[in-house]
Copies of this chain bind each other. A is one copy, B any other.
Amino acid sequence: MARDVANRRLRAGIVGGGKGSFIGAVHRVAAELDGQAEVVAGAMSTNPQRADESAKAWFLQRSYHSFEEMAVEEAKRPDGIDFVIIATPNHMHFPVAKAFLQQGIHVVSDKPMAFSLQEAKEEVALVESKNLIFALTHNYTGYPTIRHARELVKSGALGEVRKVLVEYLQDWLMEAQEKSGNKQAEWRTDPQRSGIGGSIGDIGTHAENLLEFVTGVKIASLSADLSSNVPGRQLDDDANILLRLENGGKGILTCSQIAAGEENGLTLRVYGTKAGLEWHQQEPNTLLFKQPGQPTQVLRTAMPYMSDAAQEATRTPGGHPEGFFEAFANIYKMAIADIRRVESGEKPVGGYPTVYDGLRGMLFITKTVESAQKDAAWVEMKDA
């Protein structure tokens, strides 16, 4: 079943991401950015005409009207896709992944990984049964500064983690956008398509993943207060959550889609027994390293003092801002390298979020909702 992937760009297909989608184009740019892959096929919409138009706009070679058909057909072709990109609403993440995994095709999926915790567990089992790469686009872990932050913690530079503050603030659901024809808002506020989490699924999982990625410490339990600020909205659009970490540290996670004037404010602060760090996604090339009684150090992408892990995620010299696309592309870069390895009979080396991160995310959504339903009682973040 091994493909010959030497001396060529990998071939990718995409499910979802048709016209009007923001994230579809991001996946395409990110997948192709390093010249290591090319999107050649797609099932870009459930609406056939829209699917074809979307595929044509991207100059795709093959446009399908169903992802099931695409999975089967591509698996048969000698020039079939090497991996699939999943850029659908949440309820279609797992079914699509399953279809392609079963055809022996690698997967790069958007998050959250699945519609429910149960699905996520099935997905883990399925991936474990295959020798295939599964990457989840918790794209914010792709920033060089974030990778350096993780190295700093690992190296012991912060000491033991005592306090973590992570927040993800937006304002785009301040009003009832879901009633004004905004497709993005419609499915994200619809329990049938989003699952039980609103803001906590859409952005809270990014915050949760970032925290655990950088600190290497897992959330042990949480106490969550969820809100829905718009009449008639069924899912949360704001969350305030107390955290207790497995190492005894504590923290706060807050996310909101009704924080007036905020764009995409993902921020992480970690305080240890020796030092602290601070990072803001909107100025992602800067990482602050804070030692008590010492000058705060402004660590910057691409500078020579950055760790290898950061340098490998960097494409330009210092002062040439790398942004959202480049971070996203880093997930692809690592996943594609692993696909090449697997197809060449080597072991994958990872570095990108996987099915296990996806499972943590689904657990986070599940336990947050459970805590909120108990008036913010403490709930352990583990699968009973």
CB pair B223 A259 closer than 8 Å:
no
Q: How far is B376's CA from A279's CA once the two chains are assembled, in angstroms?
A: 28
Scan A165-189; emit 1 where CB is below 8 A from any B CB, else 0. Answer: 1010011101000000000000000
CB pair A300 B295 closer than 8 Å:
yes
CB pair B319 A281 closer than 8 Å:
yes
CB pair A275 B300 closer than 8 Å:
no
Q: How far is B319's CA from A29's CA once the two chains are assembled, in angstroms?
A: 18
Min CB distance, A63 to chain B, in Å?
13
Knowing A323-B321, A323-B326, say if A7 contacts B271 (CB, 8 Å).
no
Q: How far is B259's CA from A159's CA once the two chains are assembled, in angstroms?
A: 12
Q: How far is B25's CA from A141's CA once the two chains are assembled, in angstroms?
A: 23
* A28 contacts partner chain B, Cβ-Cβ < 8 Å: yes
Cβ contacts under 8 Å, A376 to chain B:
223, 242, 376, 378
CB pair A261 B58 closer than 8 Å:
no
Q: How far is B22's CA from A29's CA once the two chains are assembled, in angstroms?
A: 20
Selecting from A121-129, A248-256, A350-358, A359-367, the interface stretch reads A248-256
Q: How far is B240's CA from A251's CA once the two chains are assembled, in angstroms?
A: 7
* A375 contacts partner chain B, Cβ-Cβ < 8 Å: yes
CB pair B264 A318 closer than 8 Å:
yes
Min CB distance, A184 to chain B, in Å?
9
Cβ-neighbour of A293 out of B271, B274, B291, B305 (below 8 A): B305
Max chain B Cβ within 10 angstroms of own Cβ: one of A28, A273, A284, A324: A324
Cβ contacts under 8 Å, A28 to chain B:
35
Min CB distance, A280 to chain B, in Å?
10
CB pair B275 A260 closer than 8 Å:
yes
* A103 contacts partner chain B, Cβ-Cβ < 8 Å: no
Knowing A29-B315, A254-B252, A285-B282, say if A260 contacts B321 (CB, 8 Å).
no
CB pair A300 B378 closer than 8 Å:
no
* A332 contacts partner chain B, Cβ-Cβ < 8 Å: no
Q: For the A-B complex with A35-B39, A260-B291 known, give 10 more contacts whose Cβ atoms are closer than 8 Å.
A: A162-B227, A170-B319, A223-B225, A223-B376, A259-B269, A260-B271, A262-B276, A295-B305, A321-B323, A321-B324
